[in-house]
Each structure stands twice: as structure tokens, then as C-alpha cells.
Structure 1
Amino acid sequence: MAFADKVVFISGASSGIGAATAIEFAKEGANVVINGRNETKLKNIYQKCEEYGKKTLIVKADISKDEEAKRAIEETIKQFGRLDVLVNNAGFSKSGTILDGNLMSSYDAVIATNLRAAMHLTALSAPHLIKTKGNIINVSSVLGSLMPISPILTSYCVSKAGLDHFTRCAASELSEFGVRVNIVSPGPVVTDFQENSGLVGFTDQSVLTALKRVSGSEEIADLILFLASDKAKGITGSNYVCDNGFLLK
């Protein structure tokens, strides 16, 4: 299998794209570290990963907090002694607009997880990834390169735009050491993202795409696995979009 005995750390792995990615990596022989804040959901994904006979480690941590992020990587290395792939997937949105007066509280909360935590995990993981010639996949969004479809998503859009450019900066710096860094930018995906973020009003997202469909989490997971594999050994600093033609609309 392509990832036999490799160690993959996935933030935000308790549901949605992160959970699907964890399961797909386990299917391909990886030892998966699943990170999140909901222990019940993490245990559910743990059981699904364990069905494929590989070691799975639950790290319950709020990676927006520096000490917890540091502990998450330390526990990974303590358990497995190495790190081959980092998937910065954790993210959420919090409503906040300029005129409602809650923009900055929204920004601070969203940036802490969507961007700052990804940057911190990258810095913590880089020495270990250099040793294994590993790679990083950052899960962004098409909204990182598009005007927001609603003012309440301003902070989310800004966080993803920042993540996109950080990815390119990290790819440039780490390329000298053989570490690749890439972006996956989904469009609408069937997950519990809206519920977790407290957003409503975007139920029929298929009308927003040229193909009149919405992706499942497994489709994005497949793209992440491709970029993490040797099949993508010549790809770094790139942004792979899977949006069913959302940007065409």
C-alpha cells in the first residue's frame, strides 16, 4: 500500500473531510493520528480506522492553543517516532460583519484555528517532516480566492486566503529540504461544517455549482491522498480545486 507504516497527523479529524481522510489513509496502511475536540466523535473515527489493522492515535486537543498544539505533535512522535504527512484540516466559521459590530471577535476566533494553528503545527512538524522527506496538505476553500458569498463569511474567507499564501511561503522555504506543501480547495461539500459553525441558510448548495452537485468528503480525501503520495512528488506550492464548477458560476 502507498502509505504502509507511514504516520499521518490530521487536525479536525472528528468529522467531515478530516474524518474521511483519516479512514482513507488507514485503508492505505498508514498509522493515523486523529486530532479534534469532540472525544465521542474521535472515538467513532478511531474504531473505523482500526478496522484496517493499523495503529490509530487519538489526540484530543484544541490546536488554537499553543501548548495543546505542541502536546499533540509531541504525543505523535512519542507514539510513533516519526511523522510523514501533516494534514492541516481543522477549520470553522463564525458569523461576523463590519456593520454588526462583531467582526473582530469573529476574526480572532476564526484566525486562531483556521490560520494560526495551521502555521504553528507546520512549524512544530517541520523538523520531523524534514527527516522523513514528508509533506503537508493544507485544506483551504474556494472562498479563499473569491469574494464572500455572504458578509457573515468574511473572517472565514480571510483566514483561507491567508492559509493559501502561507502554503506558498512554506513550500518555498521547505523545498530546500525535500518537503512538499500543497493546498486542497474544496467548494461545497456534504459535511456538518455549517452545523458546527452555527451557520444556516446554505442548505441547497448544488444550485451554486456548474455540475449541479456537491462533493462528498471522500472525494476531497482522495485528492489529499494523491498529493501526499509519491504520485505527486513533483508538486509543491500548488492549489488543487475540487468544486464541481463553483468558481465557474
Structure 2
Amino acid sequence: MSFANKVVLITGSSSGIGAAAAISFAKEGANVVIVGRKEHKLQKVKEECAKSGNGVLVVKADVSNEEDAKKIIKETIDKFNKLDVLVNNAGIAGMSSILSDNVLSVYDTIMNTNLRAVVHITNLAAPYLIKTKGNIINISSVAAKTTIIISPALSYAVSKAALDHFTRLVAAELASHGVRVNSISPGPVRTDFPDNAVGSIVASMEDLKKIVPLGRISEPEEIADLILFLASDKAKAITGSDYVSDNGLLLK
């Protein structure tokens, strides 16, 4: 798969799935735009991407901040003059049930990042993607599709379920413009994602490993491989689809 001369924007790419995807795209010849809130982590990812000799733009930003979202797209176009692939990866989790006193505050925080920011950035990026007949990949979760070990993460699961339908709706709207829109729903992946959660995460990776049918936790690079496939011409007939990579968790 070659992404030579393509411009790929990945939110939440200072670590985990986003970082793995940025490095993989760079290795395949893409110019990458990496976005996150932690500058020291972004610099480490930039160094890895730069080893491939392609353009790398670092944008320190909070996707849930409207002005920051505008900055992300503006700096991308100012630097590269186009956009071919948008990966909406930034997301946060948090613990709250419908009986929790903090359910609304957690809900608002999570929805602002996991859904509202995606809607905003997609809206800003769409005109440029139409020009290049590019594509969008939204990173969802199996949490959108099951209640197993998910109920304390009510707001997170709801945000990802909404993201799945947003993906289908935007895929239908942009298809006539030649823009494909798909989503990926990982199960447990070994990242620092729990460290960024609103409140504490109940289940550890080892706890999750015990209940996953394949008895393993995915590495970020596995999801990155799937992102690159969906962004490539090998997936030119695929739009409005959701790809699950969960080591069998939904079989439970």
C-alpha cells in the first residue's frame, strides 16, 4: 500500500492507535498531521514519522475546543494545501452509570470529545476531502455494540453507538462526491487510553484478557493495519461499513 504524496490527518495521535497509524502512514509515504494535547508525546511520534523522510506537521490541540478544531484544519491546509485522509481517532472514556450523581457531567465531557468534535472536524474537513475524493475513518468501539463489562461506561458506549450511525449517515451523504466514510471498532487494545479516562477504569487489561475468547489483547499496530487498508484503494468499494477487531469479544 502506497500513500505517496497523500496528506493524512490523525486526531489523538500522540500515543496508542493514533500514533501507530501515523507512523505506519509515514512509512508508506504519506505526509502526516499528528494532533494531540501532550506536546512531549507528539514530538516522540514526530521523530518516528520523520524517519521515513516525509512531511510531518504537529498540531497541539484539544479537538473538543472549537477554535482548536479550526486551527487543526487551517494549519493542515496551510502546510500541505490539501487533505486526503481524515482519521477521527481522538476519544476519552469514563465511568458513570445511570444511577451515578455525576452522570450528566461525565456524559457532557465524553460526548464533546467523542462525538461533537468528530462532527465539527468532519464538517471542516469535508470540502477538502471532496476535492481529493479522499476518505474518512472513525475509530469507534465494541462498546457501542454490547453491554458486557460496559454498563459503568454508559456515556462512552452511547458516544460510540452514536458515532457508528454518524459514520453511516455521512457515508451516505458524501458518496455522491466520491468520499468514502468507514469506522473501526476495536476491542481491548494495549494503550495508555485508560490513563486518560474521566475517573477510574474498573477492568484492567489482564481482567479483559481473561474474558476475551482468543485470550489476548490487541496491539495498536493491528488497528493501524486496518486503518491503512480502509484508507487505501484496496478498499475503494467500501463505505458506510464498520470493521470489528476485538479478538472475539462480541462472541460472548
TM-score (norm 2): 0.97
Q: Kindly indicate whether residue 242 of structure 2 is the aligned counterpart of residue 236 of structure 1.
A: no
Between the aligned partners of 2:97 and 2:182, the Cα distance in structure 1 is 30
Between the aligned partners of 2:240 and 2:119, the Cα distance in structure 1 is 15
SS in 2 for 1:94: coil
Amino acid at match of 2:179: V
Partner of 2:167: 167
Between the aligned partners of 1:107 and 1:29, the Cα distance in structure 2 is 39
Say which of 229, 240, 250 aligns to 1:247.
250
Partner of 2:37: 37
Number of aligned residue pairs: give it: 249
Partner of 1:178: 178
Partner of 1:202: 204
Give the alignment of 1:63-142 within 5 angstroms: 63-142=63-142
Runs of 5+ in structure 1 lacking a partner? none
Partner of 1:9: 9
RMSD: 1.0
Moved over 3 A (4+): none
SS in 1 for 2:243: strand
Say which of 205, 212, 223 aligns to 2:215.
212
* C-alpha distance after superposition, 1:129-179 (max 9, x if no partner): 000000000000011111251432000000000000000000000001000
Between the aligned partners of 1:99 and 1:179, the Cα distance in structure 2 is 41
SS in 2 for 1:57: strand
TM-score (norm 1): 0.98
Between the aligned partners of 2:187 and 2:63, the Cα distance in structure 1 is 24
Amino acid at match of 1:68: D
* C-alpha distance after superposition, 1:12-68 (max 9, x if no partner): 000100000000000000000000000010000000000110010000011101111
Runs of 5+ in structure 2 lacking a partner? none
Q: Kindly indicate whether residue 205 of structure 2 is the aligned counterpart of residue 227 of structure 1.
A: no
Between the aligned partners of 1:82 and 1:39, the Cα distance in structure 2 is 24
CA contact (8 A) 2:139 2:184 kept: yes
Partner of 1:53: 53
* C-alpha distance after superposition, 1:210-234 (max 9, x if no partner): 1111110000000000000000000
CA contact (8 A) 2:188 2:205 kept: no
SS in 2 for 1:34: strand
Between the aligned partners of 2:122 and 2:211, the Cα distance in structure 1 is 33
Partner of 2:187: 187
In structure 2, the CA distance between the partners of 1:188 and 1:21, relative to structure 1 (3 Å rule), is same
Name the % identity: 59
CA contact (8 A) 1:94 1:109 kept: no
Higher mean C-alpha deviation, range 21-30 or range 196-205? 196-205
